Amino acid sequence: METLGATADRGTIPFTVQADDARAVERAQIAKARSGDLSAFEALYRANASRIYGLCLRLCGDPSLAEDLTQEAFVRAWQKLDSFRGESAFSSWLYPLAVNVALTERRSRRRRDLRLVVTDDLAPFEKPDPAARSQGPESQLDLERALSSLPPGARSVFVLHDAYGFKHQEIAEMTGVAAGTSKAQLHRARRLLREVLKP
Amino acid sequence: MNCPDVEERLSAYVDGDLGEAEFQDLELHLATCVACQSEERELRALLIEAPGLAQEVSPPRDLWPGIAARIRTQRRPRVFTLGSTLAALAAGLALLAILTGRGPFLPVAPNAQSHAAAAGEAARLAELERQYDRVTAELLAVLNARRDSLPPETMAAVEQDLRSIDDALGRVRVALASDPTDPGLNHLLASTHQKKVNALRHVVRLAAQL
């Protein structure tokens, strides 16, 4: 039986609770939520909100929009709870759902934005000031800023593949692009990021 | 292999996606090219940093009240099991049998060609249609609850079939409106409804097995 001792980053579950017990608790919460128990669903939200908000934030780069996407993802999860078959952790089921919400929003925003011909804020598209780049702990911030300069498709694939570890086939299923396109987008994203991050 | 070739393949190289020959060529180039070695180092450094982006981030405010407010305005989608659904359907079909005076999915018998008979027939047809509609709605609800377990192409094919059947039902209804006692049209209406029920039953069973 696996203990959570080696995976302390999985939220607030105490070290002494064992993985099977945690899954059993989660299954019980899901069963209650399915029967309409809102407090059980709230517990599922509390256990997964940071994961889903983090993913939405990386995908869209906008904290305020990430809040909306997170809310939408959980409302969608409530509606689709019956399709969760319990073969994976609840969070694994939530991730593709949240990706779908984020990409759907992006597509609809892009349709709206097609009417616009100018943008006022070019900062996200500029390279970071090399003098402002730093070594060490702040390099993560550099990466986050560089990420915002990527085209949306390349950004999504980089986040899903290199940050979250999804395979190209999984990304293809979530985003609706071919696996080959996902590979090409990843190659492009990595090249652009290296260019932006060069000292 | 030259530097542009390496640049083109570096991503696949670090992912282990290159074939043996390309892998060997690229390694040979890397062994002697300082510029490409630097590119490789930068790429590997990027890949070391990337998983840090997957860390959890707490939302700046509690999002639950907004989620709960939206959820409260909706009904929880009903939990369907195949057993409970089939039991409900059986009850519905039994009622259908009583209403039609025969088996629910058998052709409807023609009646006398009188105005009174025509009016009675129209009312019976309306009730028959309501019952069929209720049964198909139940099956559609089960299907919708399980649609994620079916491949998208299967769902697309099912939806196309259902649209064709609905079109056919529409045409039969138009014809029946002018002659509700026509035995051939009555038969066609019942058999078309039956076709829809059968198609839905089949795909619901399929979804339950996946």
Give DSSP secondary structure letters for chain B: --HHHHHHHHHHHHTT-S-HHHHHHHHHHHHH-HHHHHHHHHHHHHHHHGGGGGS----SS--HHHHHHHHHTSPPPPP--HHHHHHHHHHHHHHHHHHHTS-TTSPPPP--SSHHHHHHHHHHHHHHHHHHHHHHHHHHHHHHHHGGGS-HHHHHHHHHHHHHHHHHHHHHHHHHHH-TT-HHHHHHHHHHHHHHHHHHHHHHHHHHH-
Can you give the pLDDT at residue B190? Answer: 78
The reply to whether ipTM tops 0.85 is no
Give the separation between CA B59 and CA B56, rounded to whole angstroms: 9
CA of B133, closest CA in chain A: separation in Å?
Answer: 24
Can you give the pLDDT at residue B112? Answer: 45
Task: From residue A26, give the alpha-carbon distance in Å to each of A30, A31, B68, B142.
Answer: 6, 9, 19, 24
pLDDT band at B189 (very low <50, low <70, confident <90, very high): confident
Across the interface, do A35 and B148 touch by the CB < 8 Å criterion?
no
Q: Is the pLDDT of residue A26 over 70?
A: yes
Can you give the pLDDT at residue A5? Answer: 37
Give the separation between CA B28 and CA B195, rounded to whole angstroms: 66
What does the pLDDT average to over B99-107? Answer: 44
Across the interface, do A163 and B54 touch by the CB < 8 Å criterion?
yes
User: One-letter amino acid identity for B37?
Assistant: Q
Mean pLDDT lowest among A35-49, A75-89, A109-123, A132-146:
A109-123
What does the pLDDT average to over A74-90? Answer: 90
Give the separation between CA B139 and CA B69, rounded to whole angstroms: 30
Q: What is the DSSP letter of A10?
A: S
Q: Is the pLDDT of residue B93 over 80?
A: no
pTM (predicted TM-score): 0.58
User: One-letter amino acid identity for B52?
Assistant: G
CA of B196, closest CA in chain A: separation in Å?
Answer: 24
- pLDDT exceeding 90 applies to what percent of chain B? 29
Q: What are the tens digits of pLDDT across the range A109-151? A: 766 555 443 334 434 434 444 444 444 445 677 888 899 889 9
Across the interface, do A70 and B64 touch by the CB < 8 Å criterion?
no
Which candidate from A54, A79, A190 shows the least CB-CB separation from B77?
A79
Can you give the pLDDT at residue A8? Answer: 40
Is any Cβ of chain B less than 8 angstroms from the Cβ of A38? Answer: yes
Cβ proximity of A46 and B64 under 8 Å: yes
Cβ proximity of A152 and A47 under 8 Å: no
Buried (b) or exposed (e) across B46-69, using 16+ Cβ within 10 A?
bbebbeebbeebebeeebbebbbe
Can you give the pLDDT at residue A168? Answer: 94
Q: What is the CA radius of gyration of chain B?
A: 31
Can you give the pLDDT at residue B33? Answer: 93
Q: Is the pLDDT of residue B100 over 90?
A: no
Which candidate from A78, A147, A197 shows the least CB-CB separation from B71?
A78
Q: Is the pLDDT of residue B98 over 60?
A: no
What does the pLDDT average to over B161-181? Answer: 83
Which candidate from B12, B57, B66 shows the least CB-CB separation from A53?
B57
CA of B28, closest CA in chain A: separation in Å?
Answer: 21
What does the pLDDT average to over B172-182? Answer: 80
What does the pLDDT average to over A176-199? Answer: 92
Q: What are the tens digits of pLDDT across the range B30-82? A: 999 999 999 999 999 999 999 988 889 999 999 999 999 999 877 655 544 45
